[in-house]
Structure 1
Amino acid sequence: MRIVEVKTNRERAAFRDFPYKLYKKNDQWCPYFVHEMNHILYHGRSIVYDRSQATFFLAMRDKEVVGRISVGIDEELNAHKRQQHAFFSFFDAIDDQEVGHALLSKAVEWAKEKGMLYLKGSVSPTNGDDFRGILTEGFQHSSYFLMPFNFEYYKTFFREWDRYLEYYAFFQDINQPIPPSRFNLMKRILTENLSDKEAALITDERQLTRAFLDGFFYKEGYTIEEVNLNDLSKSACDLYEVFSKSIPDDWEEDLMPFDYAQCEQLVKDFKLTLPPPLCLGVYYKGKAVGISAVLPNYNPIVRKMKGRLFPFGWISLLSSKNRIKEGRAVILFVVPEHQNRGISALLVLKLRENLKRLGYGKIEFSSISAYNTQMIRLAEFIGCKRYKTYTVFGKSLIDRPLTLEETYGTGAETMRRFFKQRP
């Protein structure tokens, strides 16, 4: 068995196609879009790879591919977070400890040669939460759109690695009502301006939403509406406004702040891929202060297309937009000065209402950082069940444990607070 650096077009194709062989008999895995893999492999193009030096490796046994990995250095993220980190991505291997360890050892060797202090992965190639982390819990469930899946044996390759970051996926059947005890608590919180007699008349989610809107929300100068995805400039500005204010400097997440061009592209993607009622904005005196979105779960269609959007796969994908009845909640941001005012709960209630109206049933909320206690509490509060865990593993590349500052950079203080609060 040997590790080969990918240099030729034939090797690039082998790197791209290996997962199809590995997961051939598995119905839970969904392929990465072929055209996006080609952009990365042949042109080094993606949000992360655009700003990184990176190398791709194959594990070969005789003439057979038995594993793959990409390793790189995101120089912009390192500068932003004041870290010296390398990353790995696109890690796949057969159920063989020799293969998995050889690939990871090669990544460690590469990162050490570059003078890095820490190696972490698997990271998203798009500066997002898509395809981020190694699935470590919930293997019996199929992946939702743009979320990773891997076999259970993958986690055995990382027994001696740190759990650098963790993310959760929550599941909910929105046709099931919010548990009565939680609904009643939500009602007390959102209707505190109403009399007991008025509050007693509220018996379902739609009435609760309307009471909160009329009793507090509108009176305070707020509105909630579908984001006008046809107005590219305004929608991109609104997303940029919310994202730039919602992402703190001391965030533990390994994400760069979204720039305007990325927000513009996100609006274009949303316009193509989601029904308008599934992208909601909250505005305060006309200014965007909150955003939420649910993507239809396209994975069953992407599986049938084998990840090939071109030349005609995109027609099948987009024509199915209004027929899909499962979704993945991908965004929920509220700017700090408007948090703790019931806006997150309202966005969830309004999305549930719209999803029901469109005939949706199963919804996944993903991925939520294990350190985002506010969002975890909200998900659990409305009756969601945590059913998957994704782990970004990490490993020191020097002969001592790293400090929190070396490990988490500008997010060190956030992680220090979290570790102190953890039982």
Structure 2
Amino acid sequence: MIEIKKVEGKKQLAAFVDFPHILYEGDPNYVPELHIAQHDILTPGKHPFHKHSTMQLFLAYKDGVIKGRIAAILNNNHNKFKNVTEGFFGFYDLYNDREVSKKLLNEAEKWLIDKGATKMIGPVNPSTNETAGLLIDGFDSPPVAMMTYNKPYYLDLLTEEGFKKNVDLLAYDLPTNVVDKKTLKLKELLRQRLKDRNIIIRNINLKDFDSEVQKILKVYNAAWQENTGFVPMTDDEFKYLAKDLKMILDKDFAFVAEYEGNTIGFALAIPDINQTLIKIKKGRLLPTGIFKLLFGKKKINYVRVIALGVNKEYRKAGIEAFFYAEIIQRAMDKKIRGGEASWILEDNEMMNKGLLKMNAKVYKRYRIFEKAI
């Protein structure tokens, strides 16, 4: 017998957070999320997403044992920005059981319909500003920092319930030893050309971090607004994310572009902290996880280019190419083996062409689905 229950109280929330650890036990590519981070993002009052939107968590029990989980999500900021009536689902994890999947998705659908939604999109956890997409290709290696991972059968379970492709998100692998040398040779020429146009590229100033974050937020919300699924981040959401990223940030991989003192673009690559998190049991920092995290950071040999954007009127000036060249050069100087550029929308022609020119290859593909409800 399958029973779907709303998550209510600390005990069920803990079970919701911990379920993936049971599901993926023994999977060499599974990286546990930090327990405290997952707990906060799912708890009203802990994460700024809950200030403007709502979600309901569900657990599926079969013969009294948890067999799956899902979150139904109403992102009010998304609907207001896009002028739509869409709902989302996320935190979708389960055993390979079609009946469990059907009941979880139906329960989330009913909750969303009750809130006025006419379409169901996902998975997003809980929005495209956090982790998003279902891995559909590239199961042979662990995910990098802030990217998703799931079992291959999830794809069949979703399509069997009528979900269709909304958009694919691409992840590129770029080892430093295969980078097209022209990219690096042009770097200084690009720097001079930009300087001649009064565009300066510099590292982020960590001593003035709060001010830098405010400037970067303006670029983020302007440069990404035409992207599929984009929702502007609130000040609180961006500050929350920035605070988390600051703990692992390497200023040598964080850049801003300025025109006459105004920030017009930024690029950020972060160390692949998943190389360390994969060794932390159930994502818990205490009692020993914190030491694995601190000492493991020194051994990380891969980065993720997590964000790279330029205000529309300054695109095609060479800023994006310079950002990538500078990140690659810094990675080579630090003896880092390479990096992932992700995620890139499949229809982002300029970014995809640029990465292919540098000899990057698509090695993982993620998909966001949709279904009319």
Q: TM-score range by the shorter chain?
A: over 0.9
Mark the CA change 1:109 to 1:174 in structure 2 (over 3 Å): closer, same or farther: same
Cα distance, 1:366 vs. partner?
A: 0.8
What is the CA distance between 1:360 and its match in structure 2? Answer: 0.8
The structure with the greater share of residues assigned to strand is 2
- 1:89-128 superposed matches below 5 A: 89-125=90-126, 127-128=128-129
Q: Is the 1:51–1:74 contact (alpha carbons within 8 Å) kept by the matching residues of 2? A: yes
Counterpart in the other structure of 1:392: 368
2:335 to 359, 383, 390: 359
| Aligned: 1:141 with 2:141 | yes
Letter of the structure 2 residue corresponding to residue 219 of structure 1: D
> What per-residue deviation string (whole Å, max 9, x for no partner) do you get for residues 270-316 of structure 1?
43212111101112222211111111111131122231235664454
Identity %: 26
Separation in 2, partners of 1:110, 1:377: 41
What residue is the counterpart of 1:225 in the other structure?
202
Q: Say if 1:29 and 1:148, in contact at 8 Å, map to a contact too.
A: no
Match of 1:212 in 2: 190
1:245 CA drift (Å): 2.7
- Equivalence for 2:83: 82
Q: Report what 2:347 is aligned to.
A: 371
Letter in structure 2 aligned against 1:167: L
Asked if 1:173 corresponds to 2:148, the answer is no
Residues 79 and 86 in structure 2, CA contact (< 8 A), matched pair in contact too:
yes
Shift >4 Å, 4+ stretches: none
The amino acid of 1:107's aligned partner reads A
2:157 alignment counterpart: 157
Is the 1:275–1:322 Cα contact (8 Å) retained in structure 2? Answer: no
Map residues 252-331 of structure 1 onto 2, 5 A cutoff. Answer: 252-255=228-231, 257-306=232-281, 307-310=283-286, 313-331=289-307
Q: Secondary structure at the match of 1:26?
A: coil
Q: Is the 8 A contact 1:332 1:344 kept in 2?
A: yes
Give the drift of 1:387: 1.3
TM-score between the two structures when normalised by the length of structure 2: 0.92
Paired amino acid for 2:191: L
Partner Cα separation in structure 2 for residue 90 and residue 22 of structure 1: 13
Number of residues paired by the alignment?
A: 369
Give 1:55's aligned amino acid: Q
Give 2:7's aligned residue. Answer: 6
CA separation of 1:355 and 1:58: change in aligned 2, threshold 3 A: same
Hey, what's the Cα distance between the residues in 2 that align with 1:5 and 1:105? 13
Q: Deviations over 1:371-418 (max 9, x none)?
A: 222211111121110111111111101xxxxxxxxxxxxxxxxxxxxx
Distance in 2 separating the partners of 1:174 and 1:318: 25
Contact 1:89 1:121 in 2 (8 A): yes
The Cα of 1:18 is off from its aligned counterpart by: 0.9
The question of whether the paired residues in 2 share the 8 Å contact of 1:4 and 1:58 is answered with yes
Report deviation, 1:164.
Answer: 1.6
Matched, 1:37 2:10: no
- TM-aligned CA distance change 1:175 to 1:244, over 3 Å: same
Query: How has the CA–CA distance of structure 1 residues 233 and 44 changed in structure 2, closer, same or farther, with 3 Å as cutoff?
Result: closer
Do the aligned partners of 1:229 and 1:268 also contact (CA within 8 Å) in 2?
no
Shift, 1:109, TM fit: 2.0
Note the residue ranges of structure 1 that are not aligned, 5 or more in a row.
187-204, 398-423
Please, which moves more after superposition, 262-271 or 386-395? 262-271
Tell me, what secondary structure is at the counterpart of 2:297?
coil
Q: Determine the C-alpha separation between the residues in 1 that align with 2:259 and 2:79.
A: 35
Q: Is the 8 A contact 2:79 2:85 kept in 1?
A: yes
Deviations 1:64-90 (A, max 9, x none): 111111112112221121111111111
CA-atom RMSD in angstroms: 2.0
Distance in 2 separating the partners of 1:50 and 1:122:
21
- Tell me, in whole angstroms, the C-alpha distance in 2 between the residues paired with 1:269 and 1:12: 22
User: CA deviation digits over 1:37-81, x for unaligned, max 9?
Assistant: 222445463343442222111111112111111112112221121
Residue aligning to 2:220: 243
How far does residue 113 in structure 1 lie from its aligned partner after superposition?
2.5
TM-score with structure 1 setting the length: 0.82
Superposed CA offset, 1:208-253 (max 9, x none): 2123323x222221221111122123312321232233133x4422
Q: Distance in 1 between matches of 2:131 and 2:143?
A: 10
Distance 1:139 1:294, change over 3 A: same
Provide the residue aligned with 2:54 in structure 1. 53
SS in 2 for 1:109: helix
| Structure 1 residues 186-205: Cα deviation after superposition (integer angstroms, max 9, x where no partner) | 6xxxxxxxxxxxxxxxxxx2
C-alpha separation in 2, matches of 1:107 and 1:229: 42
Q: Match of 1:175, SS?
A: helix
User: Which residue pairs with 1:68 in the alignment?
Assistant: 69
What runs of 5+ residues in structure 2 fail to find an aligned partner?
A: none
- Residues 246 and 333 in structure 1, CA contact (< 8 A), matched pair in contact too: yes
Q: Letter of the aligned partner of 2:165 in structure 1?
A: R
